[in-house]
Amino acid sequence: MRYDVRRMTRSNTVGLVLALVGCSPASAQSVERDPPRPPSIADASAPAVTPVVPSAEPDGNDNPEDPGTGTLPTTMTARSVGRASGGLHRICDLTPFRDALFAATSNQPLGSDGAVLARFDPDAPRAKWTVAYNWNRPGQPTRGGGGGQGFLRVHAIGDRLYVPDADSPYNGFGISEGGTESFVFVSDREGRFAPARGANLRPPAPPDAQGYFGAGVLPRAYHVLDVISFRGGVYATTGSVPPGQRAWYGPSPGALHRADDRGRRWTFVVDYPFPWQNGVWRLSFAVRFKGALYAGIQDYDGRERNDYVVIAPPAGVTQLSRQHVAGYRVSDYGATLTLRWYTDRGRLFWIGLERTGAATLRFSEDGRRWMTVPFPASAGRVSDVVRFRDSLVALTEAGLFRLAEPPDAAPPTLVAAAPTFNRGRAFPVNDAFCASPLAVFRNKLYAGSQHNATLFVFE
């Protein structure tokens, strides 16, 4: 754990979230002393809903989507295909790339050291699992956090992989202005990553447009949670010190940073909230939908009344600015932590960990009106949703469920029970930044666990 103000506040945030997750909705509300519902969106100071604009960009993130062929079996079984290399506990994201499946792994994201990108190749004659990138910096002093504290996402953008550094070692290495920085690790076109450099295992050199791998630098960023392309640029969602402000003092809003054309340097372009407030905010996981960019919000103090932000520039605008950003609330109390976004056939799906302790799956056809998927109480909290073959399926603490069509027409049906470990089920939703992911790879459905970073295939 790092003992600066921002990391201490983050650890308290996770403690609060975990306390809520461990409670029933009724007891969670009691812990929160039944907070009053904030003003409605219509009464908020945020701008009105920006009309959806046409866009040539597809909905979703940038990962290739291949649902596979055939039909979903009525019953399936989860079988272990081994533990991700690197020795960590959680698989936070799964992405196919260059005929392999890449797993972003962590221990306690933003709370303890552990950041490894693992590669799974089921056809490998010997080691099916290998380490694609190790940001644990073994052997280095650990005071203040010697290694990265979590890989939460791995995305295929264009012909490379992008892996955001959720919490950089030592608050950065002082290699940029502002006294701190974080990184986005970029692969070459084959999915290979440059190793940490030198005896002290410092970040690799910046990437190059000609195909060389490396680490892009985000000056004054404390945390980098996601990466996505939007309106002709590549953006990272962060928690950062605004330009002109002193590091370690004053406000730390959530922000978007835009990469230069080589992915070497990323510039602070959009912030939330504004006016800045004393405290710590982060923009978290992001998705494109109907010409706009949606991003989750996380703040320590629980003052945030909105659930997410929408960045919706007018058609043809490629330079983002503060006037394009608005916050919106869907849940009763706001401050919902976004676990996952997913788009499918003109619908946007959103999984949020609410202040009541529930992790709810909602969907929308316009990004404004939301419907809730009516899972049975026995399903537990939801962690991911994806299209597999001819069906939409969702992963919950209880197992894999098939969704109805439309998704709110009937309760989802159980297809496969979750495997169990000595400590409980494989897919608990017990972290604000890392929830068990699903991915379709070679016409099979995989799920990453939260115990020993074990990967399962449903058969």
Across the range 261-271, mean pLDDT stands at 91
**Secondary structure of residue 224 in the 3-state scheme:** strand
pLDDT at 455 (0 to 100): 98
Q: Which domains does the chain possess? A: 5-458 (2.130.10.10)
| Model confidence pLDDT, tens digit, residues 166-192 | 999 988 898 887 668 999 999 999 999
Name the CA dihedral angle for 60, 296, 189, 443, rounded to a multiple of 10 degrees: -50
Pairing of strands 337-344, 424-425: unpaired
Residue found under tokens 């940001």:
135
- Is it the case that residue 5 has pLDDT exceeding 80? no
Q: Cα(first)–Cα(last) distance of the chain, in Å?
A: 39
Amino acid found at 393: V
pLDDT at 178 (0 to 100): 67
Q: Say how far apart CA 144 and CA 2 lie, in whole Å.
A: 4
Structure tokens at 405: 């069509």
Task: Spell out a b/e string for 75-103, using b for 16 or more CB atoms within 10 Å of the CB, else e.
Answer: ebebeeebbbbbebbbbbbbbbbeebbbb
What is the chain's mean pLDDT, rounded? 87
| Model confidence pLDDT, tens digit, residues 15-47 | 434 333 333 332 222 222 233 333 333 333 333
Round the CA-based radius of gyration of the chain to a whole number and report it: 20
pLDDT at 32 (0 to 100): 29
Higher pLDDT, 328 or 141: 328
Q: 229, 256 in Cβ contact below 8 A? A: no
Across the range 50-58, mean pLDDT stands at 57
CA 212 to chain centroid: 26
